[in-house]
A and B are shown apart, each in its own frame.
Chain A
């Protein structure tokens, strides 16, 4: 039995703190996906909170034969979609120049700066479904079968999305270097 499955069993047997072990194991990795997908930490944190809560509530439906991470990610991906849909009305734009004003406290203390910001901006330009596919394939390094099970989308459609995402990024490169 994997660590994950063992922890799940412990939680279901009544040991809430065993859930903390699962959270510790997956939070940062899920955070990376959520931040890249949603473009800012606040929304990512909302998505993560909702994900781990839902996972907890649905824990008895987790089957040991599934990879826990895949099961968790299915929830995470859907939470990110919900947050994004809700966000439409709040007009959240990912811009950091304001934070550079002289005495603004830097709340994003772990933000590594230029490169991350730039890469995020590039990712934000992708259509969300393309971005999602790109992230699952190249950041989470999932197989197309895993991605298909997770998103409910067919393998060939996913391959098309990933390809199109890469095309967009390549186009961007062409624009930069021909400036």
Chain B
């Protein structure tokens, strides 16, 4: 029985798959060219005559079974995934996985001079861009805000939120706008040191 309340993901797949495809008109031309090269179909048979179903178009259960057996391999090749006989997927290594740098942490201090600010937080890929995760602390006298945290080796993109306003790090290279209208800052972290 089919669940009449279709899962939204399945509904989405069906909807996308239902989109019309645009074909090359030349392909249709090729079909007609092949048709025109054919002898005319057998003389018109009056439709009132009883006509036997062409045997080629029905498959016996055994034939279907054979096809199914043969076709299981197709799924493997077409999809790049492996399947065992009863159709269950077997994990395959994904194509072209990029080797990862060993993950280790280096402690990094971020500094921002903002004497007028009341709240400053550090927001970036290391804290899921969550402004509540890494608030910065203000040194009493000089308007210097800092925070120190471990970062994994590699490239990090971040920005500061100063009293609700976004600010890049003036002393770090810029990262281009990701599509939200703001550039960010970049920090390259090396094992045991920070560039």
A interface residues with partner B (beta carbon < 8 Å) = 9, 11-14, 16, 19-20, 23-24, 27-29, 31-32, 35-36, 38-39, 45, 48-49, 52-53, 56-61, 63-64, 74-75, 78, 81, 84-85, 87-88, 91-95, 97, 109-110, 112, 115-116, 119, 121-131, 134-135, 138-139, 151-153, 159, 162-164, 166, 169-170, 172-173
Contact = CB atoms under 8 A, between A and B. Distances in A.
Interface of B: 1-3, 6-7, 9-10, 13-14, 16-24, 27-28, 30-32, 34-36, 38, 40-45, 47, 51, 53-54, 56-60, 64, 67-68, 70-75, 77-81, 83, 87, 89, 95-96
B10 A56 contact: no
B13 A169 contact: yes
A44 to B, nearest CB: 9
A35 B18 CA distance: 11
Contacts of B51: 61, 63
A97 B53 CA distance: 45
A128 B71 CA distance: 7
Contacts of B21: 28, 31-32, 35, 110
Name the prevailing secondary structure of the A interface residues: helix
Contacts of B72: 127-128
Contact of A84 (B18, B22, B74, B96): B74
Given A38-B78, A52-B31, A127-B83, 8 more contacts: A14-B40, A31-B23, A61-B51, A92-B78, A95-B80, A130-B87, A151-B64, A169-B13
B1 A159 contact: yes
B80 A152 contact: no
The 5 closest A-B pairs by CB, nearest first: A110-B22, A124-B79, A173-B9, A138-B14, A12-B44
B17 A119 contact: yes
Given A28-B23, A60-B42, A170-B9, A138 B74 contact: no
A31 B43 CA distance: 29
29 contacts: A11-B41, A12-B43, A20-B32, A23-B32, A27-B28, A28-B21, A32-B19, A32-B20, A45-B27, A57-B41, A60-B41, A64-B47, A85-B71, A91-B77, A92-B77, A92-B78, A110-B21, A110-B22, A110-B24, A112-B19, A123-B13, A124-B80, A125-B81, A125-B89, A126-B79, A151-B59, A152-B58, A166-B2, A173-B7
